[in-house]
Amino acid sequence: MLLARLYHLNGQFDEAIAYGGQAVALSPNNAKVAAVFSAVSTQSGRPERGLEMMKKTMRLNPYPEDWYQAFLGLAYIFTERHEEAFTPLKKCSDRIPDYIFCHVHLIFAYMEAGREAEARAEAKEVLRINPNFSSDSWVLAYKDPAVRKRMVSHLQKAGLP
C-alpha cells in the first residue's frame, strides 16, 4: 500500500490505483489497506470505488480510526451525496480537531451545498492548523483538473489562500 500512496502523492494516479488494487488483493481483510485505497481511489477520480472501499473498511473494523471519517465524507461528496458527507466529516473534526483533512473536506461539502458561512468558519480552523495553507498545493492530490479547479474555487471563496 505504501507504493500506492507514494505514486498517488507523486501524481501518478493510474499507478497508485494499480498498486492499491494489488495491496487489497494481497490483504483483503486489512482495514487500513482498504482505508488508504479508499482515499487513493476517491482522489484519483474513482469515488464510487472509494466509497465501496471505505464501507468495507467500516465492516472490517467496527471501531474505525477517526481519520477514516474524513475520507468517507470525501467519497460521499464526490458521489454527489453531500448531505451524507456532513455526519462523518463533523465526527472527524470533533474527534481530531487538528486533522486538517476533516476541515478541508467540510469546506468543500459546505460550499457544494451552498453553505458558505459554515465553510468560512472551517477555513478559520484550517488556517489555525496550518497558517501557510495553499489551496493550489492542496488540490495536487486530485487527478481530475475540473475537480481541482472547483476545489480551489470553493476553498478560496471560503477564505483560504
Same fold, 1-65 and 67-161: yes
The domain 67-161 belongs to what CATH superfamily?
Tetratricopeptide repeat domain (1.25.40.10)
Instruction: Give residue 80's pLDDT.
Output: 94
* Pick from 101, 98, 120: nearest CA to 110: 120
Tens of pLDDT, residues 78-96: 999 999 999 999 999 999 9
The domain 1-65 belongs to what CATH superfamily?
Tetratricopeptide repeat domain (1.25.40.10)
pTM value is 0.92
Tens of pLDDT, residues 101-152: 999 999 999 999 999 999 999 999 999 999 999 999 999 999 999 999 999 9
Return the domain boundaries, the chain. Answer: 1-65, 67-161
Find cell 497558517 and name the residue: 131
- C-alpha distance across the termini of the chain, in Å: 32
Tens of pLDDT, residues 12-50: 999 999 999 999 999 999 999 999 999 999 999 999 999
Instruction: Give residue 139's pLDDT.
Output: 98
